[in-house]
């Protein structure tokens, strides 16, 4: 893809970030977008903080090498543990999905009872709890890790009967908490959104960061010439065929440019 303009860079641990990509493409049709899915190392959720930070640095360096003007971390686990590190290391705008999702959840909740589901890493970090309480300390938050949701999304099993069984197993407790808002705290989870909504009921608002982050991106973008439609470029670190199949379902496109890359290690050390 030959580009006359810098692109928006997006990275995720796998296919989940395509839910973010899809909303960015819809909102900003004239922007070039480069997506990297780290499919060789998915999922990020069970991995240690330092490992996720190391992967996130590698992902960001790769996107900057591809001449992006900003990086969107379309991964809640990475946003939770690496956003501040990346902001200090790199001199381009870097946006995470935690704060936009938290702000949207507080905005739509009427009874101040919010559920948060995410990967083990995101829930362990308490990033959503801290951010929501910074916005409104009166909110009651119920959090739960739902690690199998990532695997279900990566397998393309959004409509599989076993997915509904696992949703019931994970989310049944939330039905007793009287929550009116549920944060899908992983960009893989919107792939299962229809099944999750069916189980929770229409009275519960589902908040996902894919739509929440758009206003943050808009605030960073400068007005361009908007002469021609934006181009898309996709990279993965493994499993190209599986990525293509799921991407075609999520994005509803048949042909796109996909390349496989291997990222080097950075050996980030947390000295705190």
- 138 exposure class (CB count in 10 Å sphere: 0-12, 13-18, 19+): exposed
Q: Is the peptide bond before 43 cis (omega within 30 degrees of 0)?
A: yes
Integer angstrom CA distances of residue 201 from 161, 178, 179, 206, 260: 18, 12, 11, 10, 40
Q: How many CA atoms lie within 13 A of 17 on its CB side?
A: 30
Residue 173 is classified by DSSP as G
Reference 150, options 25, 47, 33; nearest CA is 47
Sheet containing 33-37: order of strands: 94-95, 68-73, 7-12, 33-37, 232-236, 258-260
For residue 36, is it left (φ>0), alpha (ψ between -120 and 50) or beta? beta
Reference 188, options 160, 154, 144; nearest CA is 154
Active site residues: 75, 186
């Amino acid at each position: 893809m030959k580009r006359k303009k810098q692109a928006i860079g997006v990275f995720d641990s796998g296919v989940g970030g395509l839910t973010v990509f899809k909303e960015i493409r819809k909102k900003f049709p004239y922007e070039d977008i480069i997506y990297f899915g780290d499919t060789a190392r998915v999922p990020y959720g069970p991995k240690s903080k330092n490992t996720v930070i190391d992967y996130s640095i590698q992902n960001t360096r790769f996107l900057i090498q591809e001449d992006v003007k900003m990086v969107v971390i379309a991964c809640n686990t990475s946003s939770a543990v690496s956003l501040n590190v990346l902001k200090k290391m790199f001199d381009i705008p870097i946006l995470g999905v935690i704060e936009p999702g938290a702000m949207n959840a507080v905005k739509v909740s009427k009874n101040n009872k919010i559920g948060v589901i995410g990967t083990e890493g995101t829930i362990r970090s308490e990033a959503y709890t801290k951010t929501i309480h910074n916005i409104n300390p009166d909110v009651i938050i119920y959090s739960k890790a739902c690690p199998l949701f990532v695997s279900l999304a990566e397998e393309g099993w959004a409509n599989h009967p076993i997915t509904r069984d696992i949703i019931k197993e994970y989310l049944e407790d939330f039905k007793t908490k009287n929550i009116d808002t549920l944060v899908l705290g992983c960009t893989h989870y919107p792939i299962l959104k229809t099944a999750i909504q069916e189980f929770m009921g229409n009275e519960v608002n589902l908040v996902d960061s894919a739509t929440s982050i758009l206003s943050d991106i808009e605030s960073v973008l400068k007005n361009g010439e908007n002469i021609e439609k934006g181009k898309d470029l996709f990279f993965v670190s493994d499993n190209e065929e599986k990525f293509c199949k799921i991407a075609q379902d999520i994005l509803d496109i048949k042909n796109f440019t996909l390349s496989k890359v291997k990222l080097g290690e950075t050996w980030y050390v947390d000295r705190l």
